[in-house]
Structure 1
Amino acid sequence: MRRKHGFYGAPSAFALALALGAAPAFGQDAAQSGDADQSGADAIVVTGTRITSGFTAPTPVTVQTSDELLTSAPGTLADGLNQLPQFRGSDVPQAGGVSANGAAGANLLNLRNLGAERNLVLLNGRRVVAGTDQGATDINTLPQSLVSRVEVVTGGASAAYGSDAVAGVVNFILDTEFEGLKGSVQAGISEYGDAGSQKASLTAGKALGRGHILASVEYYKNSGIGPYEGDRAWNRRGSGLLPNSGDGPARLIVADGAVVSNSTFGGLITAGPLAGTQFLPGGAPAPFEFGTVRSASFMLGGDGIRNDRNISAGTERYTGFLRGDYDVTDDLNVFVEGNYGKATANWDQYYNYTYATAAPTIYANNAFLPDVIRDRMADEGIASFRLGRIHSESMIRAENKKEMWRVATGFTATPGDWTIDGYYTHGENEIRITNFDVLHNRRFYAAIDAVEDPVTGDIVCRSTLAGYDAGCVPFNPFGAGSPSAGALDYITGDEWRNLSLRQDVVALTVQRSLFALWSDPITVAAGIEYRSESARQTTSANTAEIVDYTGVRGGPAGLAGRVGPFIVGNPQPLAGSFDIKEGFLEIAAPIARNAPLVELLEFNAAARVADYSTSGTVVTWKFGANYMPISGLRFRATRSRDIRGPNVAELFTGGSQGIGTARHPITGETVDVVTLTRGNPNLDPEKADTLTAGVVVEPAFIRGFRASVDYYNINIKGAISNLGRQETMDECYLRNNQTACDNITIVAGTNYRIDLPNLNLDALKLSGIDFEIDYRLPFLGGQLGLSALANYQWQFARTTPGSISINRAGEVGLSDNPEWKGTFTANYKTGPIELSWKQRYIHKGKYDVTFVEGVDINDNTIPAVWYSDLAARFRVGADQQHEFYLTVNNLFNRDPPLSPRVSGTHLSWSNYSVYDAIGRYYTAGFRFRF
């Protein structure tokens, strides 16, 4: 019963859903494997459905072989997929400004920029336990060296595949029939000598009578790029989005050369008669030269510093996969498989900081205060001042560890005309996220209020004289390098969270061809599925502390009473579970074939009933049609209702407070914000109505040419989200959104508390067109392949209750929504040599689509960007089964365009989720096969 193609020996219910077609870059109709062409009886047909009736389904499917993906992006398969125009805004280690959350160091695919949680990722057609509490799958933990191809269903597919397939499905298909031994080794480095990477893999497979066994292991490491690392001139200049304090009508100014205006590494007095006094190394006071276009946080020029963030996280991962299957009879195959993944991400985040409303108050009796400043305070009659300081002696470090394991077992039976598939899978993911050396609020404000002990004359923390803060070590803030090692140890601490995710899935699918109406037989598939998801998060005990300044003077009032003592992090416990019971029915009905003006006409329909333990029953459905009036011309269309249920984080996250900044929409000034993010167990599933319609052309008179154009429209209602702190401010003050205003509390002047609950809040609307062209022809004694994939998206609109709809299409500053995005590839193969040239295009766009250039901002336009990638291979061996390869990504070392990302006083030059921040990158390696 072993099958070389189609279902790879022991397909699951989901493996029935997808099979592949012939042009690797063009996957609608047929595909080539990475090793050999397939045609005729061996061709694998892309269906995009559960029914394997042999016709091409109406839902568009793009197929990429692993060989193609690794040619242009040899690091990981996710890197290659993210070059496809359908993927936007994915979480990757190179996203820039990586923070300590579950996504750090991970590769989370984001289809259509609808969020990684809105596309369903499958491994050989089966679900994989989530890699974050948001329900997204971490591609890094999959057995990448075994993947033969990746199928991307670019349309709603919940009726066929289950919940979460709102944006589509990404199915990683493994070569489970592999026999022999293969492996690879490679290394890479950037133009700047950083982000070094190493990768090695080994795979072995062997047939054993009626059985087959397969094993694979892989190792990957990338050193990442931390703050102030590398020699990128654009990054050294800094960037900013500044309120315009000078001439001209623009309210905001995008500019390079922006620096921090409210703090320095040695301390800066920011208000009062002594404002503009900074402290140099050793503590000596000196005038601080302010620059131009000065705001509360930034300015251009002057003595300000650049408060840098990391560009990419360092990552290291190990994966392993083991599988065995056995033909019990000619009609029954059973299998069992397991995979394991361990990944660690380590990186420096940014320096500890205390500025703006968090700036400490320095009193005249501070024991470290230089005498000249104490004398000036006496002359001016002031008792204290506030000091903005970025603590360059103390970098916040982070670590994200993940350990995932998963087992699956199942069978395929083909009694008579029936095909029956069943499987069970269990997966667990243990995630530990740690912040090291984070500033502890109370300890810092106690330590910086240092005085002389009236009895001993020693410098002590003032609060210890009243019996508080035993063990406090005085902190000297005056001048970079002045704090003692003991003081730094005292004011900082570590906090962590352990997140345990569990998933169990049981599924059974049956399929059979019935009777014929006017053409081929009607085919029916039906199935049931049960899925259970659970999560439990424990945290370090210190994250439950309440910020209390009793006995301490000078602590910021806006932080008092906050849950969690650290300036970042402070995760809270989480626990919850839910289950889903589902049943589906799908039918494929060929209506006519080989009739006048009807080469082929067929319909496809599916319905699914899902019962969520948290919210009840919901029904999804789809209808599709294929029509070929003549050979080589096909029209297709699908209309569907799709769903996504809330994930464990959206349902069960406890109140988690954070501190940050926002730009006041009216004044343009930066204000300090304390946020409370929390889950909501009463959330309902999101509902999406999806329409796709397109045409596929394969003219007989142009041999080797294929092209497709597909329109899509996705309309999501009740999308689960919470407004960000800046969005909440904008919605309230600019658009008078009462829901947003109800979540804002003004604590003291420029200090705000904002509640951010999860809600079925938004309506999302997307409209666009996918283009795909593939042309292969003989050329100069070899074979030339030309392919192009492009996406034009003119609508990405979000509507919040009480507000107008905002269409973010064309926005590449605050979001990842270029109107046009495309890849164009030329591949030439002759003898043992293969050359590949890829051009990646990102269309010009706006920084913020809500801004009017010249009124709201001085320059709201970000230019178009082209990236070039070059790859070369040289095959050796009797059958050319071994190869040396070299890849150069971003060949011309194109800098990312100026598009500032600002968080507090942390500056990022560009939007790294859209643009390449690494620069020219070289990878060389060797692959072998026996």
Structure 2
Amino acid sequence: MRLRIDIMRSSALGVLALSLGTIAATQAVAQEAPQTPEKTAAADTAEVVVTGSRIVRPDLASSSPVSVISAKDIQLRQPATAEELLRDMPALRPNIGPGVNNGGDGSATLELRGIGANRTLVLLDGRRLVPFGLDGLTDTNNIPVALIERVDTLTGGASSTYGADAVAGVVNFITKRDFKGLTATANYRFSEKGDATRFKADVVVGASFDDDRGNVVLSVGYTKADPLLTTARSIGAYPISSVTGQFSGATAAQVTIFGAPSNAKLGIPASSFGAVVNPTTGLLQPATASDTFNSNIGTYFQTPLDRINVYASGRYEISDGIEFYSTAMFNRNKVRLQLASSGTFGNTYQLALNNPYLPAGILGQLCSASGISATDCATAAAVQGGPGTAGYREIPVVAQRRITEMGARGNPIESQMFQVMGGFRGSIIDSLRYDVSAQYGETTQNQTREHWGSFSKVQQALRAYKDKNGNFVCADPSNGCVPLNLFGPNGSITPQQVAFIDLSALINRKVQQTVITGTITGDLFTVPLADHKIGFAIGGEYRKISARSMPDSASQIQGEVLGTGARTPPDFGQYSVKEVYGEINAPLIEDKPFFYRLGVEAGIRYSDYTTTGGSTTWKVGGTWEPYQGFKFRGTYSVAVRSPNIQELYQSPVQSLGNLTIDPCVGNVTGGLAALCVATGAPASTIGQIPSPTSNQINNTTSGNRNLNVERARTYTFGTALTPSFLPGFSLTVDYFHIKIRDAITQPAQADILNGCYSAALNPGFSYNAFCQLIKRNPLTGSLNGAGETPGVILTYSNLGVIETAGWDFGVNQRLRMDDLGVNVPGNLTFSMNGTLLNYYRFQATPNSINRNCTAYYSSGGCTNPRAKWRWVGRLGYGTENFDVSLLWTHVGSVSLEPGVTGIRPEFSRIPAYNYFDLATRVSPTENLELSLTVNNLFNKQPPLVGNGVGGTTFNGGNTFPTIYDVIGRSFTVGARLKF
């Protein structure tokens, strides 16, 4: 057993061998037992478990709305990943995925109802997958798309069934059962510009044996998606300021000097971008926008993916009432994020006055502004030596320079995931069934920061001088130091200089999950007015999750890795939970006047977490069908979610947030100026504080080990109509409402800045609780910098309130062509699913505003757009061997959040967007299918909003790539062989 565990952990092939080998061994033993043609009850009914319930019975009617994406729709869309399949679903809000470059982590996650991806549970065949990171989220890149039979999405009432982290609902990917034969599929996508290419190929093979008592399936797939550079589209050719509408560059490709001595002493006005070197005079002069760098160079609109996935499953009926089943899966995903070239950014360096690359004119300016006499300055410049040498002097400067010679900053992330599961199910008696299983999974992730550069080596290379032989040498020659020329034009940093200061850092993350669960389900008795028995399910579950992040030594040093701003500390956390649950579904009245069906259901789950103790979540619901085909339904549930490992244990780390206007920039006076000083700006910098670099500022986030549970109350009610007088027609309309108290949230950046600096919210400009969460650069007064500049501090707390409500609707119609009086074969189909968002409100703390983000976007507040109306509809015609359909995706209009000022009017509203995709399928032979999908048929271009709104994570290339198509018209051609 010990050997098996070692093999399982060390090799993905070992995982698959363990699963398939166990199935084969079970088959060999079972073949010695007496044969029986009858199947067990569990085998007969395993596929009628409804998402949202653990009760196994064919007549079960759920009171919670479940939307379904069918295998046919999956085939027409030809998605490469599960996230791509669900991205346009109205109930989902786009989250981390291939459209997120600066702020992504290599995963693709789902977020129902827009209340946080950590409140959406992703399942595979009703079971959890090992999480991707410390936040407990599932990477949907690991879903074996080729094996998916359908996708069920349930919103509301799922917590008591699957766990309290299903606050918003569950997305359940259902795989094909008892697959027989061989299917090979391949598709290739390309844009009409010839880029954004993607290739996907899968082989699925399955077979039954021993008179169908057993079945095994193996799926192997490969996906490769090429990146799309931001500059490959005109909208992302260069960053555009949301305030001015003009080019908005970042740190220059030539040195820009801020700080001590202050710009004022250098004769540089506060309105400039700093001071740059005049190549003719060798003096510092005010920098303009033309001196800044195009920070879109090297970045991605769509990140690349290289994926290998292997999935195996099997089952075998050992005897009547005992079936063994097992699954094993392995995934290797390579995702690359890429940012513009690294640089010295806002770091403070000690600049030696005898630096051999320092122009004489600038030397004189710096000495004069620093109060160093001309004689002492000349003496210091002539020193042949470093610190400790007589006459040596250095001054602190913020010498910003993009090191374009180093190339783009790469963030390749390679993750490997495996999970094995095995269990037994069957019947105890005819009306009583059982299912017990155990699973174990691991995710490992290696993130490399390529060509980011070393702060300490830059500092070492700046302490250089000219020796008596005229050679440029480092005062500290260790490590093969090469003096660095920060003062030349773009291209002046030599390959030797780049090689010395270059640094690639590594972060390793590992997540482990163990789940043991057991359920007994069956029937009790009938009530007098019903024909079907009351169904029930009871069970227990144990889960243990541990996660750690292990950065290398360079990453753990404050500000050592250029561009990160701060250290990346190691993190570790774990918790376990023991749960018991029960569920009941009771038909009360059947086949009576006005009561064709009346039933109630209820569920309860008690959880005991090692972190937050005991808590209870429950639901009640019911359905009333007065006439067959006219159903009314509703569910009320209470969920209690415990914090995940990241929310509890994350050490303080720095990230970036969007900010177009810093309240302390410019000629501030009076109480506001005093607040700027109180929040960390030196008094000497008032009036000289530089604007946010690239419209971005530092944010510092951290976990909170004192967090407790959050409490959610959700309810849904609606109707489902399938009238017999309208064959092929169905209509569903459901209202949803979710309110979370004691919500585990982080305050919005905008709340903190406005709560401190806004005269309307802080009339007396007092140093209040919001101001305590702002820490400025102690040298420049800005909100940019390295580890010395936390910026805006965003810490988790239980002080939030989240509330959202709206309507879901779905309509389907299927008509035979001959029923329409048209003498041609085939069917005409129409379907539409949509969501009307009534409101979404978020209040991070009692002192924050109760922000309404319905149909709004902004920076640091509502972030990316949250449309009021979203829907998808498909109109199609099909026969057995041919299909053609048009998919319509609608995203409603959105506007800039009220109260946000300074944004140009043309960037303050995005009109409604409509996309159309054309899909065709033809089967020229019995074994061959050919498909063509044209996405964004009319080549609709994304909206231009500049780079200063919507948050750093979701605003890329002056637009929102997760919501609006940036690829343009694209074509996917596919083929499928079936045997």
User: TM-score range with shorter-chain normalisation?
Assistant: 0.7 to 0.9
Indicate which of 80, 94, 102 corresponds to 1:98: 102
Residue in 2 that maps onto 1:68: 73
**Percent of aligned positions with the same letter in both sequences?**
27
CA 1:182–1:174: 2 relative to 1, 3 Å: same
Counterpart in the other structure of 1:498: 508
Partner of 1:159: 160
Mapped contact 2:808–2:834 kept (Cα < 8 A): yes
Alignment match, 2:688: none
1:422 equivalent among 423, 431, 436: 436
Contact 2:480 2:500 in 1 (8 A): no
Paired position in structure 2 for 1:143: 144
Distance in 1 separating the partners of 2:750 and 2:347: 19
- The AA in structure 1 aligned to 2:703 is G
Find the counterpart in structure 1 of residue 336 from structure 2. Answer: 346
What does 1:265-276 correspond to in 2, within 5 Å?
Answer: 265-268=253-256, 271=263, 272-273=266-267
Tell me the distance in 1 between the aligned counterparts of 2:38 and 2:753.
59
Aligned to 1:264: 252
Deviation digits for residues 387-414 of structure 1, max 9, x if unmatched? Answer: 4422222221111111111111112212
Aligned residue for 1:741?
771
Q: Residue in 2 aligned with 1:912?
A: 961
Give the Cα–Cα distance (whole angstroms) in 1 for the partners of residues 419 and 470 of structure 2: 63
CA contact (8 A) 2:276 2:287 kept: no
Segment drifting more, 717-726 vs 167-176: 717-726
Please give the residue correspondences for 1:919-930 in structure 2 after superposition, counting only pairs within 5 Å: 919-930=968-979
CA distance in 2, matches of 1:73, 1:849: 40
Q: CA deviation at 1:783?
A: 0.9
Unaligned runs of 5+ in 1: 20-46, 243-252, 291-298, 548-562
Greater alpha carbon shift after TM alignment, 529-538 vs 564-573: 564-573
- C-alpha offsets along residues 119-165 of structure 1, whole Å, 9 cap, x if unaligned? 11111111110012211111111222111111101223111121211
Tell whether 2:358 aligns with 1:358: no
Kept in 2, the 8 Å contact 1:10–1:334? The answer is no
Q: 1:287 to 1:804 in 2, by over 3 A?
A: closer
Q: Write out per-residue CA displacement over residues 838-896 of structure 1, whole angstroms, 9 at most, x where no aligned residue.
A: 111111111334437x899675211111111111111122x3x4211111111222221
Mapped contact 1:526–1:584 kept (Cα < 8 A): yes
Contact 1:507 1:530 in 2 (8 A): yes
Kept after mapping to 1: 8 A contact 2:932/2:971: yes
2:875 touches 2:885 (CA, 8 Å); kept in 1?
A: yes
Distance 1:116-1:132 versus aligned 2 partners, 3 A rule: same
TM-score, with normalisation over the residues of structure 2? 0.81
CA distance in 1, matches of 2:918, 2:578: 48
* Partners of 2:190 and 2:162 in 1: CA distance: 40
* C-alpha distance after superposition, 1:25-75 (max 9, x if no partner): xxxxxxxxxxxxxxxxxxxxxx65535361321100001123313422532
SS at 1:609 equivalent: strand
The one-letter code of the counterpart of 1:741 is C
For 1:835-874, list aligned pairs within 5 A. 835-851=884-900, 859-874=907-922
State the partner residue of 1:368.
357
Distance 1:674 1:851 in 2: 20
Deviation at 1:685, TM superposition (A): 2.3
CA distance in 2, matches of 1:277, 1:192: 41
Q: Distance between the aligned counterparts of 2:635 and 2:117, measured in 1?
A: 23
Matched, 1:774 2:812: yes
| Residue 514 (str. 1) matches residue 524 (str. 2) | yes
| CA distance in 1 between partners of 2:725 and 2:409 (Å) | 63
The 1-side partners of 2:48 and 2:614 are apart by 26
Name whichever structure is richer in strand by fraction.
1
Amino acid in structure 1 at the alignment position of 2:446: R
Paired residues for 1:272-421 under 5 Å? 272-273=266-267, 278=276, 290=288, 302=290, 304-308=292-296, 309-355=299-345, 357-358=346-347, 365-370=354-359, 387-394=399-406, 395-414=408-427, 415-421=429-435
Cα pair distance change 1:486/1:904, threshold 3 Å: farther
Change (3 A) 1:674 1:708: closer
Q: Cα deviations across residues 297-347 of structure 1 (Å, max 9, x unaligned)?
A: xx6xx5654210321221111111112211112322111221111111124
Q: Say which SS state the counterpart of residue 769 (structure 1) adopts.
A: strand
8 Å CA contact retained: 1:69, 1:81: no
Match of 2:568 among 556, 568, 571: 571
- Report whether the alignment pairs 1:215 with 2:218: yes
Instruction: Find the structure with the greater CA-based Rg.
Output: 2
CA contact (8 A) 1:88 1:816 kept: no
Question: How far, CA to CA, are the matches of 2:63 and 2:88 in structure 1?
Answer: 25
Residues 279-305 of structure 1: CA deviation (Å, up to 9, x unaligned): 699998898884xxxxxxxx6xx5654
1:584 aligns with 2:590: no
Distance 1:590 1:61 in 2: 20
Q: Alignment length, in residue pairs?
A: 848
Partner SS state of residue 728, structure 1: helix
Q: Using a 3 Å threshold, how does the CA distance of structure 1 residues 367 and 616 change in structure 2: closer, same or farther?
A: same
Question: What residue number does 1:475 align with?
Answer: 485
In structure 1, distance between residues paired with 2:37 and 2:802: 45
CA distance in 1, matches of 2:497, 2:328: 49
Q: Does structure 2 conserve the Cα–Cα contact (< 8 Å) formed by 1:425 and 1:505? A: yes
Contact residue 584 and residue 601 of structure 2 kept, 8 A: yes
CA distance 1:379–1:142, shift in 2 (3 Å): closer
Give SS of 1:239's match.
coil
Q: Which residue of the other structure, out of 842, 852, 858, is the alignment partner of 1:798?
A: 842
Alignment partners' CA distance in 2, 1:128 and 1:868: 33
Equivalent residues of 1:18, 1:125 under 8 A apart: no
Structure 2 match to 1:532: 544
Query: Which of 872, 876, 880 is 1:823 aligned to?
Result: 872
Shift of 1:438: 1.1
8 Å CA contact retained: 1:226, 1:349: no
Q: Is the 1:201–1:216 Cα contact (8 Å) retained in structure 2?
A: yes
TM-aligned CA deviation for residue 535 of structure 1 = 1.2
What's the secondary structure of 2:554's corresponding residue?
helix
- The one-letter amino acid of 1:614's match is T
Secondary structure at the residue paired with 1:474? coil
Which shifted more, 426-435 or 329-338? 329-338
Q: Is the 8 A contact 2:182 2:206 kept in 1?
A: yes
Distance 2:703 2:713 in 1: 26
Instruction: Report the residue type matching 2:409 in the other structure.
Output: I
Find the aligned partners of 2:452 and 2:622 in 1 and give their Cα distance.
58
1:647 aligns with 2:634: no
CA distance in 2, matches of 1:623, 1:380: 74
**Residue-by-residue CA offset, 1:460-518 (whole Å, 9 max, x unaligned):** 34x53xx8887353234411111011221222312111111111111111112111112
State the partner residue of 1:787.
831
Which residue matches 1:77? 82
Aligned counterpart, 1:594: 591
Residue 457 (structure 2) pairs with residue 447 (structure 1): no
- The aligned counterpart of 2:923 is 875
Cα pair 2:503 2:561 within 8 Å, conserved: no
Return 5+ residue gaps in structure 2 as ranges: 1-35, 373-394, 667-690, 784-788
> 2:450 maps to which residue?
436
Counterpart AA for 1:186? N
Contact kept? 2:865, 2:894, Cα under 8 Å: no
1:768-806 CA-partner distances (Å, limit 9, x unpaired)? 111111111123522111111111112111112212210
C-alpha deviation, 1:691, in angstroms: 0.9
Secondary structure of 1:493's partner? coil
Distance 1:746 1:284, change over 3 A: closer
Aligned residue type for 1:183: A
* Larger deviation, residues 663-672 vs 814-823: 663-672
AA aligned to 1:919 is: G
The 3-state SS of whatever aligns with 1:140 is helix
Any idea what SS the aligned residue of 1:542 has?
coil
Letter in 2 for 1:537: S
SS at match of 2:525: strand
Whether the 8 Å CA contact 1:500–1:536 is kept in 2: the answer is yes
Query: Does structure 2 retain, via aligned residues, the 8 Å contact 1:665–1:733?
Result: no
| Alpha-carbon distance between aligned partners in 2 of 1:569 and 1:269, rounded to the nearest angstrom | 21
Change (3 A) 1:791 1:687: same
